[in-house]
Amino acid sequence: MAKMAFSVQTRSVSCVLPALLVQIAVLCTFSPGKTDCSSFPHQYTMQFWAGRIEQEIDRVIRMVSGVQQMKGIYIDNRNLFEIKENIPRKLVGKVAGDIKHLLSKKVEALKEKAQQDFGIVCLLAKALFTRKAHNQIAEKKLTGKD
């Protein structure tokens, strides 16, 4: 199955916000119900405004987040996607197995590194011991002690 990667181009909120404010101003000017400039708007008018603002905010959020574009991409390429039911125990088991495998590789690498380091330490110790032994022999020869 082919995997699909896609990018979604979105508009910034700063471009959309002025349009939203204009929409609100138009709603306030041409909303149904009689409103007097000096009186507080009627409950029906405020409910209408709230509903329209909610719809506009929802539309703007969908546009900015790219939900509609992603939905269109999915519909256009539905045959490239596969939806499967999750089986939690199976997923946890697979992840646990993957982690165990990864950690076992790390353990093996650390063991190998430790063996190499131990080998180097042994060689250094042997070289040091050999040098010390040679120095002792040389010292005995110089002092005449045998």
Is residue 1 within 8 Å of 83, Cβ to Cβ? no
Evaluate if pTM is beyond 0.85: no
What is the C-alpha separation between 56 and 23, in angstroms, rounded? 8
Q: What is the mean pLDDT of each run of 10 residues along the chain (146 residues)?
A: 43 58 67 58 87 89 82 89 86 92 88 84 81 79 71
Give which of 1, 146, 134, 6 is closest to 76, Cα–Cα. 6
Cβ-based neighbours of 73, under 8 Å, separated by 6 or more: 4, 6
